[in-house]
Chain A
Amino acid sequence: MFDPTTYASRALTVAAELVADDEAVAELRGRLQVIHDDLLGDNAGKPRPALDAASGRPVVNTIFRPAQLPDTHFTRLVIVDDPRGPADDKLPLVLVWESNHDGAPADYLRQVLARATSGEPGVHLDFDAIFGACVGYPSMARGDEWVAWMLAHALRAEAFYSGYRGVPKRRVDAAGRVHAAIRRFLDEHRADLAGQDPVAVHRRIRDHLRAGPPGLEPGDLEPAVERGAGFWLRKWATLVLLGVAALLLLTFLLPFTLAWYVTLRRHERRDKPDRAVRAVHGLPDLIAVEDRIVQNQLTHLVDLKPGVFRYVTQRVVLFAIDQLARVIFVHGELGGITSIHFARWVILHDRRDVPAHRRRHRLLFFSNYDFSWDSYLGEFVDRAARGLTAVWSNTEGYPRTENLVNQGATDEETFKQWARDRQLASQVWWSGVRYSTVENVNNDVAIVRGLGRDLDDEDAPGWLVRL
């Protein structure tokens, strides 16, 4: 059913340069706006199609309906521009498609292609209308060539985190249906069940679900794949390798480590951090699209500080976070933050034919999180300031740091303003779990797991309190 090698949630980031043609880009922006308006209605809980300027009639989104993507948790489309780049050194526009999906990217893209070109009535996944403005794009009609092109433009996630890694979208949806069916059953039979023994209540619920009540689909009661021996092996191998690396850096490689440290301190003294002169101000058009549903999104773009030193440090820090996200932060929290569904860092490399010191590599961050921008950034400061400082202290304008991980994000207002100032508008953003927080999803999954066996006196009350 779900082969452990393929079920893991993956981070696909397709980034392709747009043609240098203002008209084509304007047309693309118009299309993304149509999709955005369609989804905004979706996100606000009530439809609100945009009106066509000429006819005054609603514009219908026949371009891209993310809900029709197979096995997709969250997705977005962003035109990455270069708003803070120097006027005489602007980088070309890049269109980025972010998808948080299940299975290997090649399989996923083939499924997307199959669905899009199936000719099923009502299916609108017209990637040609979106990526058509990218340099060298082959249309979907080219089949395998399309998949190959997408893969060739996919950026590696330097670090990727999921609040429920390894739980496929289908299992997320199924667990939600199971929990809802249990609630309906309990609400109807509360007076009868409330006085009973927890073990008996658990059995009654199981019997009810096995009888196939309305609202459940076949296979919904299958639990999500448990982490098997492969996971534990990887976990211990990772920890041992990280430990050995740390040991080496502190013994045989100590001179190297010290040299790195001295360089770091010199950089930290010389760096020019942003200065916030007032309480945090967000761009009104960013704020205008926020707080429509229980989740929000962040697209954040910042130049790496120039030079090899910061570049290498950045890669190492992200590598370490990525490894920890695979084996340690797999229980719905990342360094104490429980509100992140999916987040990733990718590097947009500057491959222009210019001298190395003039290359502008950029760090791109995507996050899909619960609750408001302010609460999310607040969690960064409250609970994970060091980890985030380790990442972003290698980028331009970051608040003053000390020893890579200290200070930085703890300067709350300066940090938040730095983040707001480098936030990009996400032209299209879609959530596949509009009503569920990370805690909800993990709780639902645990409920289904508890249905697979008889519970004893000890386990039953703990399971019931989840309902």
Chain B
Amino acid sequence: MLAADPDPAAVPDTLAGADLSQIQTLVFRGGARDFPWSSFLFVSLPSEVAAARAWLREVAAQLAWHGRPRPTLRVEGGELVGRVQLALTTRGLRRLGLDRAVIGRFPFEAKAGMERRARVLGDPVDDPHAGDPLETLEQFEANKPLPTDWAGTGGVDLRSCDAVLPLFATSAPDRHALDLAQRDRLRRAGGTTLTSEYSAEWKEREPFGFADGLSQPAVRGQPTRATPSPENELAAGEILLGYRNEYHQVPKSPRFDLDHPTHGGFDVGKDGTFLVFRKLEQDVLAFWRTFAALGQRFAGQAVGDGYTVPADPFAATHWLAARAMGRWTNGNSTLTHPHAAGDRLPPTTINDFVYGADPHGLACPIGSHVRRANPRDQRGGPTDESWKVVKRHRILRRGRAYGHLHDADTLIRLLLAGEPVEERPASGLLFVCLQSNITRGFEFVQQIWNNNPGFHGVYQEADAIAGPGGCRYSIPARTVRLRLDNPFPDPAEPDEDRRLGLPRFVVPRGGGYFFVPSRATVELLTAAA
């Protein structure tokens, strides 16, 4: 029997007064400044519960909790300063012997896994009809279709993944040592490492060359120096379970039955959150080659209302890419800087804009990446209502870039001059986000905002930066809309939309859905069977 639901009015929507040491540090700090190097270690646990728990006990001793002394991290030949975090799949929870009824109370999508959500996420699968009716957890876990591109070069197959350890270090050698020590520990425990995904050194920009991580919501009552604006502050229950959310409700959380002999009524979800990992490969060369060709084509053309595409192809390339992103490469919004990038605004003001002054998207197109990813005051209806609705879908991003980070300006100049560009190893984003509800957070943003072909009245378009490709992209104008299409169409493609649609520049290469447990839940999981 389950305990009665808590009365929402009696549950706080703020972290003020909460025991923050129950919460993993990653929720509050991405760690970019202290730990520019990171990696994500994906784990398959030993099949025996006792062995899996023994492993967890060792890992638990190293985990970083907010406000608790940093644990000593032992590696080959000494100790180092770093941060170890932990997130588990429902498969992993099962291997750790968590009560089956409790696992059944985990959210649907967490049990189904990212692979089964391919259609929702716009990930290509060979058979779009894959997905027989499934009822049980075992069926979910055993019958996952692998999206097409995940099997390709550099793809990550996480179907048998039980846990991920996000690792953070101050230097590349430290990160390597930390990774090796964890792999070693896992091997001794009888588990296997599926893969380690290494980030590039933190540079505050993503591989295309745009400033990244500028817009992050704040959790009400979180430990922070700056006071967030009311529009940017979320009820704690949007990110963490166990607190009131933006619906003024307490999110449903996996709990033990009241009459369970040892853990009666224990809330497994409280102070935990859900983590989405996604490896996104970015075709940087194709991106800038496309925009350079478009820059040459549209250079000098009028847009109306005083806007003109710059006559210089280099500036025109930047202008068009900024209209696709909604920000210039330096991070300034095209709303505050409609004509040119200008000097980068300080962090206190760079994110300080609303779209109300630009209802038609003449400065910042409605379909641009950042406007889709966070429509702010322009989600429809009155401004207040728009903010209210938007807050119900925001996520905390904790991703890192990987691979070779090109210098965008150099690359554009080479491409415009027709000079050869050196091939480099693939680069992209190890996308990570946190939220209390994956369907309402990550999946919603991906499906209803970024990839939506009819977002706010646009016609068969998608995000030109990170969308699924195959769509043209249009920049609204006072007289004649500027329509970007593929400058290098495949003449053999019979379908006009697909031929003229922009290519897919960001290709998903695998990922998964994880639960980030609280300290109390980790303790419960490590307890002897």
Query: Known contacts A374-B439, A375-B444; is A279 also within 8 Å of B108 by CB?
Result: yes
The answer to the question of A402 belonging to the interface, with a C-beta cut-off of 8 Å to chain B, is no
Given A413-B251, A435-B453, 13 other A-B residues pairs in contact with their CB atoms under 8 A: A48-B129, A190-B480, A193-B480, A194-B303, A194-B477, A201-B479, A278-B252, A281-B108, A285-B133, A336-B385, A440-B457, A465-B476, A465-B478
In the complex where A281-B108, A440-B457 touch, is A411 in contact with B133 (Cβ < 8 A)?
no
Set of chain B residues within 8 Å of A282, measured between Cβ atoms: 108
Q: For the complex, what is the distance from the CA of A372 to the CA of B120, rounded to whole Å? A: 9
Binds B, one of A18-26, A54-62, A259-267, A376-384: A376-384
Q: 1/0 contact trace for A385-421 toward B, CB 8 Å? A: 0000000000000000000000000111100000000
Partner pick for B481 among A372, A374, A467, CB 8 A cutoff: A467
Minimum distance in angstroms from B189 CB to a CB of chain A: 31
Do the beta carbons of B248 and A371 come within 8 Å of each other? Answer: no
Known: A190-B480, A194-B304, A195-B302. A413 touches B252 (CB 8 A): yes
Chain A residues whose CB sits within 8 angstroms of the CB of B457 once the complex forms: 437, 439-440, 443
The docked-state distance in angstroms from the alpha carbon of A375 to that of B254 is 24
Contact A464 B120 (CB under 8 A): no
Residue pairs across A and B with Cβ atoms less than 8 A apart, 23 shown, are: A44-B129, A48-B129, A186-B481, A190-B480, A198-B304, A277-B2, A279-B108, A279-B437, A279-B439, A284-B134, A287-B131, A291-B119, A372-B448, A374-B439, A374-B443, A375-B447, A378-B444, A382-B389, A412-B247, A413-B249, A435-B460, A439-B456, A440-B457
B135 at the interface (CB under 8 A from A): yes
B392's contact among A48, A284, A382, by CB below 8 Å, is which?
A382
Do B454 and A370 touch across chains, with their CB atoms under 8 A apart? Answer: yes
- Let me know if B380 is at the binding interface, CB within 8 A: yes
Question: Which residues of B lie under 8 Å from residue A277 when comparing CB positions?
Answer: 2, 105, 252
B166 at the interface (CB under 8 A from A): no
Which 10 interchain pairs have the tightest Cβ spacing?
A437-B454, A279-B107, A439-B457, A285-B133, A278-B105, A195-B302, A412-B247, A194-B302, A194-B480, A281-B108
B480 to chain A, nearest CB (A): 5
* Interface pair B453/A375, CB less than 8 Å apart: no
Choose from B104, B380, B480 the contact partner of A464 (Cβ within 8 Å).
B480
Contact A461 B439 (CB under 8 A): no
Minimum Cβ distance to chain B for residue A199 (Å): 10
Residues of the A chain whose Cβ atoms lie less than 8 Å from the Cβ of B482: 190
Tell whether A191 is near chain B: CB-to-CB under 8 Å. Answer: yes
Within 8 A of B (CB), among A328-374: 336, 338, 370-372, 374
Interface string of B407-443 (1 = CB under 8 A from A): 0000000000000000000000000000001011001
Contact B131 A278 (CB under 8 A): no
Taking CB atoms, residues of chain B closer than 8 Å to A375 are 444, 447-448
Least Cβ–Cβ distance between A441 and chain B, in angstroms:
10
Least CB separation from B483: chain A residue: A187
- Bound complex: CA of A443 vs CA of B458, how far in Å? 10
Q: Which of B303, B444, B448, B456 neighbours the largest number of chain A CB atoms within 10 Å of its CB? A: B448
Binary per-residue interface labels of chain A (430-467) against chain B in the complex, 1 for a CB within 8 Å, 0 otherwise: 00000111011001000000000000000001001101
Return chain B residues, CB-CB under 8 Å to A183: 483
CB distance from A392 to the nearest CB of B (A): 18
Chain B CB within 8 A of A40 CB:
yes
Q: Is there contact, CB below 8 Å, between A198 and B478? A: yes
CA distance A370 to B456 in the complex (A): 11
Q: With the chains together, A207 CA to B129 CA distance in Å?
A: 46
Residue pair A383, B129 in contact (C-beta under 8 Å):
no
Beta-carbon contacts under 8 Å, B447-464 to A: 447-448, 452-454, 456-457, 459-460
Question: Given the complex, which residues of B lie within 8 Å of A374, measured CB to CB?
Answer: 439-440, 443-444, 448
Given contacts A288-B133, A338-B380, A412-B247, contact A371 B440 (CB under 8 A): no
| Contact partners of B439 in chain A: CB under 8 A | 279-280, 374
> Is B128 an interface residue, CB under 8 A from the partner?
yes
Residues in chain B near residue A292, CB distance under 8 A: 119, 128
Quick check: is B77 within 8 A (CB to CB) of the other chain? Answer: no
Q: Mark B119-142, 1 if CB is under 8 A from A, else 0.
A: 110000000110111110000000
| CA distance in complex: A328, B160 (Å) | 54
B263 CB → nearest A CB, Å: 17
**In the bound complex, CA of A400 to CA of B480 (Å):** 52
Which residues of the other chain, B, contact A194 by a CB distance below 8 angstroms?
Answer: 301-304, 477, 479-480
**Is B70 interfacial (CB-CB < 8 Å)?**
no
- Residues of B within 8 Å of A104, CB to CB, are none
User: Does B479 contact A195, Cβ atoms closer than 8 Å?
Assistant: yes
Judged by a CB distance under 8 angstroms, whether A5 is at the interface is: no
Residues on B close to A: CB < 8 A? 2, 5, 104-108, 119-120, 128-129, 131-135, 247-249, 251-252, 254, 301-304, 360, 380-381, 385, 388-389, 392, 437, 439-440, 443-444, 447-448, 452-454, 456-457, 459-460, 476-483
User: Is A118 positioned at the interface, with any CB of B under 8 Å from its CB?
Assistant: no
Interface contact B107-A382, CB-CB below 8 Å = no
User: Do B135 and A410 touch (CB < 8 A)?
Assistant: no
Q: How far is the CA of A21 from the CA of B321 in the complex (A)?
A: 64
- Assess the A276–B252 pair: CB atoms within 8 A: yes
How long is the Cα–Cα vector from A381 to B247 in the complex, in angstroms? 9
Residues from chain B with a CB closer than 8 A to the CB of A280 are: 107-108, 439
Residue among A46, A294, A465 making CB contact with B360, cutoff 8 Å:
A465
Query: Distance in Å from the Cβ of B80 to the closest Cβ of chain A?
Result: 39
**Contact: A278 with B392, CB < 8 Å?**
no
B447 contact set on A, CB distance < 8 A: 291, 371-372, 375
A residues near B453, Cβ cutoff 8 Å: 294, 435
Q: Are B252 and A371 in contact (CB under 8 A)?
A: no
Measured CB to CB, the nearest residue on chain A to B500 is A187
Chain B residue numbers with a CB within 8 Å of A279 are 106-108, 251-252, 437, 439
Q: With the chains together, A277 CA to B104 CA distance in Å?
A: 10
CA distance A40 to B460 in the complex (A): 20
Q: Mark A76-98, 1 if CB is under 8 A from B, else 0.
A: 00000000000000000000000
Give the residues in chain A near B440, CB-CB below 8 Å: 374, 378
Q: Which residues of B have CB within 8 Å of A275?
A: 5
Interchain nearest-CB distance for B501 vs A (Å): 13
Give chain A nearest CB distance to B454 CB in angstroms.
4
Q: Which residues of A contact B302 (CB under 8 A)?
A: 194-195
Interfacial chain B residues near A336, Cβ < 8 Å = 380-381, 385
A48 CA / B392 CA spacing, docked (Å): 37
Over the window 268-304 of chain A, the binary record of Cβ atoms lying under 8 Å from chain B Cβ atoms (1 yes, 0 no) is: 0000000111111111110110011010000000000
B454 near A371: Cβ-Cβ < 8 Å: yes
Q: Which residues of B contact A198 (CB under 8 A)?
A: 304, 478-479
Neighbouring B residues of A193 by C-beta, 8 Å? 479-480
CA distance A294 to B459 in the complex (A): 11
Docked-complex contact A412 and B481, CB < 8 angstroms: no
CB distance from B459 to the nearest CB of A (A): 6
How many Å lie between the Cα of A374 and that of B443 in the bound state? 10
Give the complex CA separation of A413 and B437 in angstroms: 11
Give the shortest distance, in Å, between A9 (CB) and chain B (any CB): 20
A182 to chain B, nearest CB (A): 10
A381 to B360, CA, bound (A): 27
Specify the chain B residue showing the minimal Cβ separation from A376. B448
Cβ contacts under 8 Å, A437 to chain B: 454, 457
Give Cα A84–Cα B479 distance, bound, in whole angstroms. Answer: 57
How close is B10's CB to chain A, nearest CB, in angstroms? 15
Interface centre among A278, A285, A338, A443 (most CB of B within 10 A): A278
User: In the assembled complex, which residues on chain A have CB atoms less than 8 Å from the CB atom of B106?
Assistant: 278-279
A44 CA to B128 CA, complexed, in Å: 8
Q: Is the CB of B301 within 8 A of A191?
A: yes
Of all chain A residues, the one with the shortest Cβ separation from B122 is A291
Instruction: List residues of A (95-143) whose CB comes within 8 Å of B's CBs.
Output: none
Q: In the complex, what distance in Å separates the CA atom of A48 from the CA atom of B127?
A: 10
**What is the minimal beta-carbon distance from A7 to any residue of chain B, in angstroms?**
25
Nearest-neighbor residue (CB-CB) of A417 within chain B: B252
What's the least CB distance linking B136 to chain A, in Å?
Answer: 10
Please report the C-alpha to C-alpha distance between residue A195 and residue B302 in the assembled complex, in whole angstroms: 5
**Is B129 touching A40 in the complex (CB atoms < 8 A)?**
yes
Task: Tell me the minimal C-beta distance from A26 to chain B in angstroms.
Answer: 18
